[in-house]
């Protein structure tokens, strides 16, 4: 009944069956233009209720009208600045709970989940939902190959009501910490949120790189705020329902924008691209022949079998325009939920991970002389090949080690200063662009005296 807010059912057999069915449909159904779901339905809440900017500012979001339907972009009301009272309330609310710790935040990619529509008694439910959703994200390539690069955090946000406004119908109102609501700007499946409250909660984490608002609902819906300029450093916000089978796919698609700086590969109009060459790595005005001749964009992948099916080439349509611009493959996840990243997209994602997680880092200072038997510890991906050198000569016995001492490296005990160097290289064939490969390799150096 509208207004009734019991905790949603957690009958896992039913959920699992639903996930299997919807995931199977998503894997085969292309994103296609549609009439949309609830385009003319009134918003679940008024602008005053939502705390929108009184100046009428708007922010662009990407949303998904339904499984198999075409994503779209829309300008929605921006949130109003927080009051001092709201800041204090958020500051005193909730904890930051580690879900997965791979290393120091400045050496890893930090994914921050914030829960909305979870009461104080439901915070463990929220953390369970985070674990379940992240496990699904981590199965998608290239996440699966680079799981050791990620820290995952859950930021508790205590809501007065359980659930989300607009679920199941537009007249349902819920008092929640982040103000999540369906029927945003009249679109039923558009799940908006107060982006300023999200920033306040996300900033509790040490170094948020990707922020996901997990709203307590099984209703299909979500949004991508890709033009957010965050003081905390993250590039955007993804919203998704916690118990809907498509939530993971929404998050993975949105992370393609955040980490890979990838463009959408779909279109929903017959418009023609008439501007300059797109800056995104997965769109180009060039044909395959022109691309190969100019040795630009994804020319290194042309003709290769791609994990999303077919071979890499140039396929017309993308960036919301049907003509005048090409994408690398017929149907990647940047076009259709349930698909894989194509080869150029996968390359961009891996490079994006390493922009937040350097190839090698260390808590052992490099700027001052190390004396005696002080241990040197480094952080490097499991995929990285690690080599140690003393005065330019490799210490072969330490190859692959992430923790060494001057003695184990064979630094002479002669009272003189010697140079210790560590080099980490990633041999993956998934990144071919020399400029991007630089992000996968790294070197650190210390002056050591025994």
CATH number at residue 31: 3.40.390.10
- First-last CA distance in the chain: 74
- 306 and 419 share a domain? no
- 409 and 312 share a domain? no
Answer for the pair 232, 208: CB distance below 8 angstroms, yes or no: yes
Residue 349 inside a domain? The answer is no
Closest alpha carbon to 244 in 3, 414, 432, 8: 8
- 99 and 244 share a domain? yes
- 214 and 268 share a domain? no
Residue 32 inside a domain? The answer is yes
Please, what sign has the CA dihedral across residues 72, 77, 78, 83?
negative
The last residue of a domain, from among 233, 258, 283: 258
d(CA 397, CA 240): 48
Answer for the pair 61, 74: CB distance below 8 angstroms, yes or no: yes
CATH of the domain at 381: 2.60.40
Residue 350 inside a domain? The answer is no
**Environment class of residue 290 by beta-carbon count within 10 Å: exposed (0-12), middle (13-18) or buried (19+)?**
middle
Residue 351 inside a domain? The answer is no
- 282 and 209 share a domain? no
Domain range for 439:
359-449
d(CA 130, CA 25): 24
- 226 and 312 share a domain? no
Cis peptide before 142 (omega within 30 of 0): yes
Q: What angle do CA 255, 80, 163 make, to 5 degrees?
A: 60
- 100 and 206 share a domain? yes
Residue 3 inside a domain? The answer is no
d(CA 63, CA 247): 12
Closest alpha carbon to 287 in 277, 279, 263, 341: 277
- 134 and 214 share a domain? yes
Answer for the pair 151, 103: CB distance below 8 angstroms, yes or no: yes
Answer for the pair 267, 276: CB distance below 8 angstroms, yes or no: no
- 417 and 380 share a domain? yes
In the sheet with 417-425, reading across from the earlier edge strand, the strands are 370-371, 442-449, 417-425, 385-390, 393-394
The last residue of a domain, from among 258, 283, 311: 258
71-77 and 58-64 strand pairing: antiparallel
Which residues in the chain show pLDDT less than 50?
1-50
Model pLDDT, residue 36: 27
- 78 and 223 share a domain? yes
Closest alpha carbon to 220 in 194, 196, 187, 186: 187
d(CA 1, CA 323): 46
Count of the separate structural domains present in the chain: 3
Model pLDDT, residue 7: 37
- 154 and 27 share a domain? yes
Q: What is the pTM of this model?
A: 0.86
- 299 and 242 share a domain? no
Residue 232 inside a domain? The answer is yes
Model pLDDT, residue 247: 81
Residue 4 inside a domain? The answer is no
Q: Dihedral, CA atoms, 70, 73, 75, 77, nearest 10 degrees? A: 60
The last residue of a domain, from among 258, 291, 315: 258
Residue 345 inside a domain? The answer is no
Closest alpha carbon to 63 in 234, 244, 188: 188
């Amino acid at each position: 009944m509208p207004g009734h807010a019991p905790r949603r059912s957690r009958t896992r057999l039913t959920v699992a069956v639903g996930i299997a069915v919807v995931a199977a449909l998503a894997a085969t159904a292309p994103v296609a233009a549609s009439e949309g779901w609830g385009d003319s339905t009134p918003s679940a809440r008024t602008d005053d209720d939502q705390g929108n900017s009184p100046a009428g500012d708007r922010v662009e979001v990407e949303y998904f009208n339904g499984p198999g339907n075409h994503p779209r972009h829309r300008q929605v009301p921006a949130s109003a600045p927080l009051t001092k009272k709201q800041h204090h309330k958020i500051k005193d609310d909730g904890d930051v709970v580690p879900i997965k710790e791979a290393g120091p935040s400045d050496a890893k990619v930090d994914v921050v989940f914030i829960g909305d529509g979870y009461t104080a008694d439901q915070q463990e439910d929220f953390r369970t939902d985070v674990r379940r959703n992240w496990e699904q994200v981590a199965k998608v390539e290239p996440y699966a190959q680079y799981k050791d690069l990620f820290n995952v955090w859950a930021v508790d946000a205590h809501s007065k009501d359980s659930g989300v406004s607009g679920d199941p119908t537009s007249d349902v109102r819920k008092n929640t910490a982040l103000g999540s609501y369906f029927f945003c700007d009249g679109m039923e499946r558009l799940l908006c949120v107060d982006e300023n409250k999200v920033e306040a909660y996300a900033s509790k984490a040490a170094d948020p790189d990707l922020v996901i608002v997990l709203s307590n609902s099984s209703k299909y819906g979500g949004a991508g705020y890709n033009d957010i300029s965050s003081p905390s450093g993250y590039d955007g916000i993804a919203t998704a329902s916690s118990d809907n089978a498509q939530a993971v796919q929404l998050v993975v698609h949105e992370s393609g924008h955040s980490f890979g700086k990838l463009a959408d590969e779909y279109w929903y109009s017959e418009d023609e691209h008439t501007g300059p060459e797109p800056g995104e790595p997965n769109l180009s005005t060039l044909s395959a022949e022109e691309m190969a001749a100019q040795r630009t964009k994804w020319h290194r992948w042309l003709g290769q079998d791609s994990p999303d099916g077919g071979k890499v080439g140039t396929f017309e349509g993308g960036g919301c325009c049907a003509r005048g611009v090409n994408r690398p493959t017929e149907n990647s996840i940047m076009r259709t939920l349930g698909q894989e990243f194509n080869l150029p997209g996968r390359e961009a994602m891996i490079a994006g991970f390493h922009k937040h997680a350097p190839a090698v880092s260390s808590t052992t200072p490099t700027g001052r002389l190390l004396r005696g038997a002080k241990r040197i510890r480094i952080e490097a991906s499991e995929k990285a090949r690690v080599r140690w050198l003393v005065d330019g000569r490799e210490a072969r016995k330490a190859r692959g080690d992430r923790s060494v001492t001057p003695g184990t490296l064979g630094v002479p005990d002669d009272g003189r200063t010697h140079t210790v160097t560590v080099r980490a290289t990633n041999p993956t064939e998934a990144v071919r662009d020399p400029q991007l490969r630089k992000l996968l390799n790294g070197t650190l150096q210390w002056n050591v005296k025994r």
